[in-house]
Structure 1
């Protein structure tokens, strides 16, 4: 329990800093991958790391996303996690495809994200050739998520993830790991993995 509280304290400090320093001031907007096959992208994803945000600060383990195709422009989004109290919580929303690898994600009742139409706030900035992992975020890099088809990543995989995160203009020391039951067990800055 003490490790979890210390991890959350670190996450809160990083969250406060990430809103001010998520990306270098001169960084261009996040660029999408040239092509995204939505049919291959849907399915289950594990969150391996993320920029802390108020809506996910109580998520301490096994954060997942499930994407299901509704039609050619809409994807059902179901995010869930285990909280500090050990309970599963989740939210269901919609992702509307605006352009290749750029979507507008909306969740009912979430301020500034409750409209189905809007500017792209979910950009697939990196996607492994085999669709095994992805880096997604918003144009300004305030949000950023490392998603993987597997909850377990080896040392070489973490090195690749960190290199890609940094090459896409993110500060890897402000992005925190997301523990999974089968994989990494600690919340810590990605730059230390």
Structure 2
């Protein structure tokens, strides 16, 4: 299988039932960010934490790049990083905005679209929390490789509020090494 990175490939494949783990108590209501601004979200994000998944097995971290396109479309490029922070592989695709803070993601070579919810972004659009309603995926993203402690704490609180099990959240090794 071609190694493909997440956050978004995991979302697409998990929608097909490719794997079963859920990191979220689904009895807890999950909410996307009603004030999500796609233009401010565009740009480069560094993965600083994620829930374990088989599609990132070879990645110590990842970089996600989003480019706003005309209409309700966002171009996506995700790059896998090894333990030294060196890019090893990438995958591209597009996301369609389907609601406030809710995207439908389709990646090259993946036959289905998957839900990608922006659960929270700080006021300066420096830190974001991303999740999937079924809890099979979740990430903390930051504009810089190293996240300040206060924003990391806030991001973790958002995951917990949305029912995610914080004990299973893993720091991204490539980002911690920088």
- Does the CA-based 8 Å contact 1:46-1:151 persist in structure 2? yes
- Does the CA-based 8 Å contact 2:26-2:135 persist in structure 1? no
Aligned residue pairs, count:
159
- Does the CA-based 8 Å contact 1:83-1:89 persist in structure 2? no
Structure 1 partner of 2:173: 179
* Secondary structure of 2:32 counterpart: coil
Structure 1 residue 94: Cα displacement? 0.5
Structure 1 partner of 2:63: 64
Structure 1 partner of 2:42: 42
Matches of 2:117 and 2:141, distance apart in 1? 13
Q: Deviations over 1:8-29 (max 9, x none)?
A: xxxxxxxxxx94441124222x
Structure 2 partner of 1:82: 81
Matched, 1:24 2:18: no
Q: Deviations over 1:123-143 (max 9, x none)?
A: 111111111111111111211
Q: Runs in 1 of length 4+ with deviation above 4 angstroms?
A: 84-87
Matched, 1:166 2:160: yes
* Secondary structure of 1:59 counterpart: coil
Unaligned 5+ residue runs, structure 1?
1-17, 114-119, 187-193
Larger RCO: Structure 1 or Structure 2 (Cα < 8 Å, ≥ 6 residues apart)?
Answer: 2
Matches of 1:138 and 1:32, distance apart in 2? 10
> RMSD of aligned C-alpha atoms?
2.3
Matched, 1:156 2:156: no
Mapping of 1:7-22 within 5 angstroms?
19-22=20-23
Larger radius of gyration: 1
Matches of 2:176 and 2:80, distance apart in 1? 15
Unaligned 5+ residue runs, structure 2?
1-18
- Does the CA-based 8 Å contact 1:134-1:148 persist in structure 2? yes
Structure 2 partner of 1:7: none
